[in-house]
Amino acid sequence: MSNKVLITDYVHPSLIDGFNTLGLVSVYKKDISLESVHQCIQDYVGIIINSKVKMDRVLMDKAIQLKFIGRLGSGLEIIDLPYAQEKGIHVFNSPEGNRNAVAEHAMGMIISLANNFKRADQEVRASIWDRESNRGMELEGKTIGIVGFGNTGSSLAKKLQGWDMEVLAYDKYDQSNMHGLDFVKSSNLEEIQTKADIISFHLPLTDETYHLVNLEFIKICKRGVMLINTCRGPVFDTESLVKGLESGHVGHAGIDVFENEKPTTYKEKEYILHDKLFNMSNVILTPHVAGWTHRSLEKIAEVLLKRIKRLF
Tens digits of per-residue pLDDT, 149-161?
999 999 999 999 9
Asked whether the predicted pLDDT for residue 186 surpasses 80, the reply is yes
Q: What's the average model confidence in pLDDT over 208-227? A: 98
- Cα–Cα distance between 151 and 274 in angstroms, integer? 30
Asked whether the predicted pLDDT for residue 175 surpasses 90, the reply is no
Q: What's the average model confidence in pLDDT over 209-227? A: 98
Q: pLDDT digit string (tens) for 236-281?
A: 999 999 999 999 999 999 999 999 999 999 999 999 999 999 999 9
| pLDDT confidence band for 18 (50 / 70 / 90) | very high
| pLDDT confidence band for 2 (50 / 70 / 90) | confident
Q: What is the pLDDT of residue 138?
A: 97
Q: What is the pLDDT of residue 168?
A: 98
**Mean pLDDT (the chain, rounded):** 96
Asked whether the predicted pLDDT for residue 13 surpasses 90, the reply is yes
Q: What's the average model confidence in pLDDT over 87-93? A: 97
pTM as predicted: 0.93
- Cα–Cα distance between 157 and 167 in angstroms, integer? 7
Q: Which amino acid is at 206?
A: T
Report the candidate in 168, 224, 170, 236 with the shortest Cα–Cα distance to residue 197: 224
Q: What's the average model confidence in pLDDT over 59-88? A: 95
Which residue numbers are catalytic?
Answer: 232, 261, 288
Q: What is the pLDDT of residue 312?
A: 83
Q: What is the pLDDT of residue 74?
A: 86
Q: pLDDT digit string (tens) for 51-72?
A: 899 999 999 999 999 999 999 9
Asked whether the predicted pLDDT for residue 188 surpasses 90, the reply is yes
- Report helix angle 294-309 to 13-21, nearest 10: 20
- Cα–Cα distance between 257 and 271 in angstroms, integer? 16
| pLDDT confidence band for 289 (50 / 70 / 90) | very high
Q: Please give the distance of CA 42 from its chain centroid, rounded to a whole number.
A: 31
Asked if residue 110 lies in contact with residue 139, where contact means CB atoms within 8 angstroms, the answer is yes
Asked whether the predicted pLDDT for residue 196 surpasses 80, the reply is yes
Q: What is the pLDDT of residue 75?
A: 86
Q: Are strands 166-170 and 143-147 parallel, antiparallel or unpaired?
A: parallel
| pLDDT confidence band for 199 (50 / 70 / 90) | very high
Burial (Cβ within 10 Å: 0-12, 13-18, ≥19) of residue 155: buried
Report the candidate in 255, 198, 263 with the shortest Cα–Cα distance to residue 230: 255
Asked whether the predicted pLDDT for residue 1 surpasses 90, the reply is no
CA atoms within 13 Å, Cβ hemisphere of 193: 14
- Report helix angle 95-114 to 151-160, nearest 10: 50
Asked whether the predicted pLDDT for residue 137 surpasses 80, the reply is yes
Domains of the chain: 4-93 (3.40.50.720), 97-285 (3.40.50.720)
